[in-house]
Amino acid sequence: MKRLLLIFFSICISAIIPHKVYAYDITAGLTTWYAWWNIDQGNKGSESIDPTFLYGPALAVKINNDFNVTFVFLYGKYDYDGQEHDPSSFKQKVTNKRMDSDLALNYRLHDYLKAFAGLKYMAYSLEINERVTDVFPLPPKNTIKQDHSGFGPGIGLSATYPIYENMFLLATLSGFYLWGSEEVKPSYQKSDKINYTEYGFNSNLSVAYYIAPASTVISLGGRFQYFVAPYDDYIYPRHTFYGLTLTATYTFSI
């Protein structure tokens, strides 16, 4: 993972050095994603979790006419009763904190099209509070903590197409491959840690409006994310996140 970071930053530096730049255009703002979450575990059934807001910063630095660097970080928290999704399970109160981050170097292929490559980080931190049932003679209360994270490369294409005057259509499609680990820490036994790889794709489609006097762009659209996190030869959880996005950014020069 450290090697990937070094390679990525070396590429960024090599893109900057050959060009004499006197000013940088910086775009900064906030983005939100109101996302539903579905987990499909094949023979073990599927689970649909009510939507919540993920939010965070969106940044971009224009290096020159061909290159720019972008960074987006999202954070959100899902709270739900596990037994509502699986009546046969324990009575559960589940808190799932989720993080999703992308750092990318973009290259202009055409006035309307860019290619990008970079690094992706995803993490989940679950805390499950189980209460005893008549079926399973466990202690009165158990707390299970589950930390899940993945890190690796991503690659994709993005398009910007003018619709009318200051209105644009924005589209992005990317794929990623992550190396990750998951550690489960039940309060009543030793922790268990496993390593795995996960892979998937992201897609975004939105309409953006540029407010020229304020140097601000407002965009509204949708985002779909799908990935598979196989733990062994028999368990292949498939995660789907989908929902509405809203982003506001301001551009200035330094």
Q: State the SS3 of the chain.
A: CHHHHHHHHHHHHHHHCCCCCCCCEEEEEEEEEEEEEEEECHHHCEEEEEEEEEEEEEEEEECCCCEEEEEEEEEEEEEEEHHHHCCCCCEEEEEEEEEEEEEEEEEEEECCEEEEEEEEEEEEEEEEEEECCCCCCCCCEEEEEEEEEEEEEEEEEEEEEEEECCEEEEEEEEEEEEEEEEEEEECCCCCEEEEEEEEEEEEEEEEEEEEHHHCEEEEEEEEEEEEECCCCCCCCCEEEEEEEEEEEEEEEEC
Q: CA 126, CA 172: separation in Å to the nearest integer?
A: 29
The pLDDT tens digits of the residues spanning 129-187 come to 665 444 445 554 567 778 889 999 999 999 999 998 899 999 999 999 999 888 877 65
Per-chain mean pLDDT for the chain: 82
CATH of the domain at 56: 2.40.128.90
Q: What is the pLDDT of residues 196-229, one digit of tens each?
A: 889 999 999 999 999 999 999 999 999 999 999 8
Which amino acid would we find at residue 253?
S
Q: pLDDT confidence of 244, banded at 50, 70, 90? A: very high
| Token pair 């690659």: residue | 155
Query: Which of 23-32, 106-115, 179-188 is least confident?
Result: 179-188
Q: Domain total for the chain?
A: 1
Of 44-58, 75-89, 231-245, the range with the lowest mean pLDDT is 75-89
Q: Is the pLDDT assigned to residue 21 strictly greater than 50?
A: no
Beta bridge pairs of residue 180: 150, 196
Of 126, 67, 59, the residue nearest 97 (C-alpha)? 126
Mean pLDDT value of segment 81-99: 64
Count CB atoms within 10 A of the CB of residue 161: 11
- 20 CB contacts (<8 Å, ≥6 apart)? none
Confidence tier at 95 by pLDDT (50, 70, 90): confident
First to last CA, the chain: 32
Q: Is there a contact between 245 and 222 (Cβ–Cβ < 8 Å)? A: yes
Contact, 210 vs 189, CB < 8 A? Answer: no
| Alpha-carbon gap, residue 169 to 192, rounded angstroms | 46
**Full residue range of the structural domain in which residue 118 is found:** 2-253
What backbone torsions phi and psi does residue 231 show, to the nearest 5 degrees? -90, -35
What percentage of the chain carries pLDDT values higher than 70?
75
CA-wise closest residue to 56 among 4, 127, 121, 114: 121
Predicted local distance difference test score (pLDDT) of residue 152 = 95
Would the pTM of this model clear 0.85, i.e. be above it?
A: no
Structure tokens at 115: 């290619």
List the single range of 4-18, 202-216, 225-239 with lowest mean pLDDT: 4-18
